[in-house]
Amino acid sequence: MIIEPRMRGFICLTAHPKGCEQNVKNQIDYVKSKGSIDGAKRVLVIGASTGFGLASRISSAFGCNASTIGVFFEKPPTEGKTASPGWYNSAAFENEAHKAGLYAKSINGDAFSKEVKQQTIDMIKADLGQIDLIIYSLASPVRMHPETGVLHRSTLKPIGGTFTNKTVDFHTGNVTEVSIEPANQEDIDNTVVVMGGEDWTMWIDALKAENLLAAGATTIAYSYIGPAVTEAVYRKGTIGRAKDHLEATAFTITDSLKDINGKAYVSVNKALVTQASSAIPVIPLYISLLYKIMKADGIHEGCIEQIQRLYSQRLYNGGEIPTDENGRIRIDDWEMRADVQEQVAKLWQEATTETLPQIGDLAGYKQDFLNLFGFGFSGVDYDADANEMVMVDSIN
């Protein structure tokens, strides 16, 4: 079977197993090239199959020589249909980890459910005993609440008034104006239920209740702040309320871990092309301008560079973990540099369908988007039969 990208709006319906494998191998090579890191050895990554979570799993395994359990929600391949990219990524990751003699197992299911938490608990008990680091990297549009059975949907809406600004359709390069109607209270509440810190707390509580957190265990969740141009729809919108809640949750989790000297942190990461961020209006235009500037300045990073730096220069730098005045770890420091943001703000004014190919890195955006699904990698023969991807027992 020859697999080609089939785009539908913000997603691609197909994924390429060999390309996903190449993506994982490239990330592994990057982490190895940066040298070993003296970090946590038993790691649970929740949201481990794509984006920042995958980069975290790779950084733990191939940077810190860690055993990893990865939890994610991905589609396995079926007759005539490819798997979702995170499934291929995880299969490739497990193969590479096993080749390197590293423990790696995965749980494919709804991380918000009690069942998946229980499965994870059983796996830790059977295989690892305790966990030293829990990365919480879920990005989901929905959450079925485990107590009530209610299905909550998150939204990406401004709060208090209609938001109108520029956006780009990154497939066509068309820059248009988009208006988004403000959220009501229900939208806000639902978004906080889905993307706030409640489930993070439930995970940590469940692991602690079973004595599965090692002394000094650390847990990290990922957040975003970003620039003024995206503020109304991101940080001051519904998703921002969820991030406020997530950030506040770090403090309540840290309180709950006092007796084992555990710590919860939020790391604020850079804006990057992932399946999650492509669906947010305005953000793709911002990212394409940001990429252009950061690449020109030699400070561009992808997920793996971000997380490798998080580990080597923040978490495991041999000293205190540096945080901002709100207790957050910042690896968005280069994105948020004043000179970078001044340039973005200026280019934002100039961005049109006609100017964007020159002033923005639309090509880089598209390349990254294709890469998410395993397309566009050099070293992959896309004309070859892609059927013989090795299946991994522990992923169903």
Rounded to 5 degrees, what are φ and ψ at 100? -85, 5
Enumerate the known binding-site residues for NAD(+): 47-52, 73-74, 110-111, 138-139, 243, 272-274
β-pair type (67-72, 42-46): parallel
Q: How far is the CB of 277 from ligand NAI (least distance, A)?
A: 4
Which residue lies nearer to Na ion by CB, 137 or 223?
A: 137
Binding partner of residue 265 among ligand NAI, Na ion, none, CB cut-off 5 to 8 Å per kind: none
Angle of the 198-209 helix axis to the 114-123 helix axis, nearest 10: 40
Q: How far is the CB of 111 from ligand NAI (least distance, A)?
A: 3
Interface residues with ligand NAI (CB under 6 A) are 47-53, 71-74, 86, 110-112, 137-140, 222-224, 269, 271-272, 274-277
**70 contacts Na ion (rule: CB under 5 A):** no
Q: Is 30 a catalytic residue?
A: no
Q: How far is the CB of 65 from ligand NAI (least distance, A)?
A: 22
- Binding segment toward Na ion, per CB under 5 A, in 23-31, 52-60, 195-203, 317-325: 52-60
Binding partner of residue 90 among Na ion, ligand NAI, none, CB cut-off 5 to 8 Å per kind: none
Cβ count near 276 (within 10 Å):
22
Binding partner of residue 360 among Na ion, ligand NAI, none, CB cut-off 5 to 8 Å per kind: none
| Residues 142, 152 contacting (CB under 8 angstroms) | yes
Q: What H or E segment, with its residue span, contains residue 104?
A: strand 104-108
Distances in Å between the alpha carbon of 54 and those of 236, 304, 306, 387?
A: 28, 8, 12, 23
Cα atoms in the 13 Å half-sphere on the side-chain side of 267:
30
Tell me which amino acid residue 247 is: E
- Binding segment toward Na ion, per CB under 5 A, in 50-58, 69-77, 241-249, 373-381: 50-58
Residue with nearest beta carbon to Na ion: 53
Q: Which of 137, 230, 269, 278 binds Na ion (CB under 5 A)?
A: 137
| Angle formed at CA 32 by CA 30 and CA 37, multiple of 5 degrees | 115
Enumerate the known binding-site residues for substrate: 224
Rounded to 5 degrees, what are φ and ψ at 40? -60, 145
Catalytic residues: 234
Q: Which residues bind Na ion (CB under 5 A)?
A: 47, 51-53, 137
